Amino acid sequence: MNLLIKQATIVDSGNPLNGKTMDILIEKGIITQIKKSITPEKGIKLLEEDGLHVSIGWMDMQCNFCDPGYEYKETLQNGLKSAAKGGFTEVCVMSGTNPPLHNKTQIEYLKNRSKSNIVTVYPIGTISHQQEGKDLAEMYDMKLSGAMAFSDYKKPIADAGLIYRALQYTHNIQSFIITHCDDKTIYNGGQMNEGLTSTKLGLKGISTLAEEIMLQRNLQILEYTGGKLHIPTISTKGSVEIIKKAKAKKLNVSCGVAAYNLLLEDTILEGFDTNYKVNPPIRSKEDVEALRKGIADGIIDVIVSDHNPQDIESKDVEFDHANNGMIGLESCFGVLHTALHTKASLETMIDTITKNPRRILGTNIPEIKENTEANLTIFNPHTKYVFDKSHIAASNHNSGFIGKELKGKAIAIINQNNMS
């Protein structure tokens, strides 16, 4: 693949070229020249438009492609198309499958089915066998087969002893735990954030305590056992403070936030739109502001799409009976940039979907410099557009952003000597 990107502003913190507008020549998948101006030669494809920006390829640390077992919600190939359309060159695929990714066969299935795709897949194996929360899964075998970390996805580990053993075991095999914090016994049957809106709508609330008490528990276990812990999606002001204190104590902990939790407030559920029924739930204005500040202050490390497709039969029902989940890959950058463009620098935003997730995973961080393999996302942070179904490649359309104006859009990705 030969391509000349004309007059693109480079966004790459720590790179001497950061903030500079340059021409970038890519030949056979390798960045061969970066100059103020490059004259295009015959046979070189040209990419040129106002407002072009380029960064290293984006990475999403939490998405669910449902394959195998729930292909009526999403197929692996459509999930990868969604990632490419959203600007992501690499994705971590969670174990929301049937069976879950709980042994090496499941990990190898995902690796083999995706190995020729422009989007690189990093499987996340389960913590517990069959996601049952009782016994540890075959972590070492899964690691040898390509599992990057271990998580029971949206199923929080109620058994403190299991988290204790998992942290010890993964530390010994040079891996780590990703665990969702949500004590369901506190809000049994809760439908949305607990507060004025839930009371007004007559819906049972999910208190912030449910997240924060399990987060505190897991961090206390981490402090005792050692090891490494990642919290994939915090959603409350209290959780931001808890993570801040844990980092001040030098615990090996990192955390993420779903893009939708940075933009939406719980009042949006007044229309009972089931697309806004998600886990963690959409929280209050106060929580949203704290999460945004957490990004700006570097307390929250990554932003994820939390891409979780649901078929129409799971969403076109009464609110109480609807499944949690929203697709998010295609809209992720537009959502996070709309939420944060006045709160955080563009470099900070891009770090949350490029360098920070790769540092947490321990994978190679691509570079924007000559004589390196091109792993790039080309985007325009200034583009305003109305998100609609034409922007969606996912198998289902359970997005709360259809018809909403967003600011910031991915244009193309380059990875593995290919462009999409």
pLDDT(182) > 90: yes
For residue 216, give the DSSP letter.
Answer: H
pLDDT(43) > 90: no
Question: ∠263-266-267 over CA atoms, to 5°?
Answer: 105
Q: What is the mean pLDDT of residues 171-195?
A: 96
pLDDT(416) > 90: yes
Q: Round the CA-based radius of gyration of the chain to a whole number and report it.
A: 21
Question: ∠378-383-384 over CA atoms, to 5°?
Answer: 145
pLDDT(327) > 90: yes
> What per-residue confidence (pLDDT) applies to 41?
86
Is 306 considered catalytic here? yes
> What per-residue confidence (pLDDT) applies to 54?
98
d(CA 107, CA 390): 32
The CATH number of the domain covering residues in 57-361: 3.20.20.140
- Cβ partners under 8 Å of residue 114, min gap 6: 76, 80, 120, 121
Ordered DSSP codes for 290-335: HHHHHHHTTSS-EEE--B----HHHHSS-GGGPPP-B--TTTHHHH
Average pLDDT, the chain: 97
> What per-residue confidence (pLDDT) applies to 147?
97
Pairing of strands 149-150, 120-125: parallel
Catalytic residue chosen out of the listed positions 12, 23, 287, 306: 306
> What per-residue confidence (pLDDT) applies to 42?
86
Q: What is the mean pLDDT of residues 84-90?
A: 98
For residue 185, give the DSSP letter.
Answer: G
Q: Give the pLDDT band of residue 40 (cuts 50, 70, 90).
A: confident
d(CA 314, CA 323): 6
Q: What are phi and psi of 298, to 5 degrees?
A: 80, 10
d(CA 332, CA 259): 6
> What per-residue confidence (pLDDT) applies to 229?
98
pLDDT(256) > 90: yes
Q: Give the pLDDT band of residue 267 (cuts 50, 70, 90).
A: very high
Q: What is the mean pLDDT of residues 169-183?
A: 97
Query: Domains of the chain: which residue ranges?
Result: 57-361
3-state SS class at 397: coil
| pTM of this prediction exceeds 0.85 | yes
pLDDT(1) > 90: no
Percent of the chain with pLDDT over 90: 98
Pairing of strands 3-10, 53-56: parallel
d(CA 3, CA 16): 23
